[in-house]
Structure 1
Amino acid sequence: MIGRWLWYGVVGASAVLGFGYALRDRVQSVVPDKSIDLVARGREVYISEGCIHCHSQYIRPVGMDTELWGPPTSPDKALAQSPVLIGNRRQGPDLSTVGSRLSPDWNRRHLIDPPGIVKGSRMPSFAHLFDGEESSRGEALLAYLDSLRAEKRIQ
């Protein structure tokens, strides 16, 4: 009788361990990888917070774009991104060269209080990205925005 219960215990423990081992890869893919660098995490924040809905990262080869933001973006370069961050509509400025134009400190203040920094701004506040546990998301977004630089220096 004890042999039978021992056998059930061994089989049950093996099944639980096997099931846990099989789920290990799935769980690891859901848990954020701490080794992802700050800029890559910032790009994820940019996408998840919906920045793409109001900002483009594609300087079009037309007068106003090149006057404001610099040299046009090559379509091949824009389409090589995954996901492509051309933008849905441009209500706010193009951000493809924002790191060459604005400091991380300016961007932080603007993300926290847009109308306080740019009079008449319709951009919502993203102050929550800099509060408590969310603060690492704000820092990552700032690192990503700072990484968006012009290939040539903007005058």
Structure 2
Amino acid sequence: MKKLIIAALLVVGMTTFAQDKKERPKRAQMEKMTPEQRQEKQLQRMTTELGLNAKQQEQMKQLLAEQATKREAMMEKREASREEMKKQREASRDKMEKQRETMENKMKAILTPEQLAKWKSNQEKMRERAGDRMKERMHDKMQDDMEN
């Protein structure tokens, strides 16, 4: 019975692995193609599937070129916004770090060394709990995304 189960798992695993290998070279090959090559390939596929005539092919070629231009502009805009968001996060992180240091310096003036050590320990525990909650939320979000 054990051998049968192991054999079944082995067959399923090999089948899954074999299917993954078939899909990946196509993706890698598409990434190596220039935008013009992708447009030409898409136009050829549409021509054979839809039976486009020469006039329709020319119109579709223009439409595909317009789409590619718009898509490229959107990607550049998205990349610029990512860079801006990254700069904002870094500035915010620096600001919070300065505030934390100021708070710590003020706490040093008020608390005894033992109290300060205990306060730092409590702060560290709170950071760890916040990090754990963040990881849990991200995990839950990923699970929700996978279900939808």
Larger radius of gyration between Structure 1 and Structure 2: 2
The TM-score with structure 2 as length reference comes to 0.32
Instruction: Give the TM-score normalised by the residue count of structure 1.
Output: 0.30
* Greater relative contact order structure (CA < 8 Å, 6+ sep): 1
| Structure number having the greater helix percentage | 2
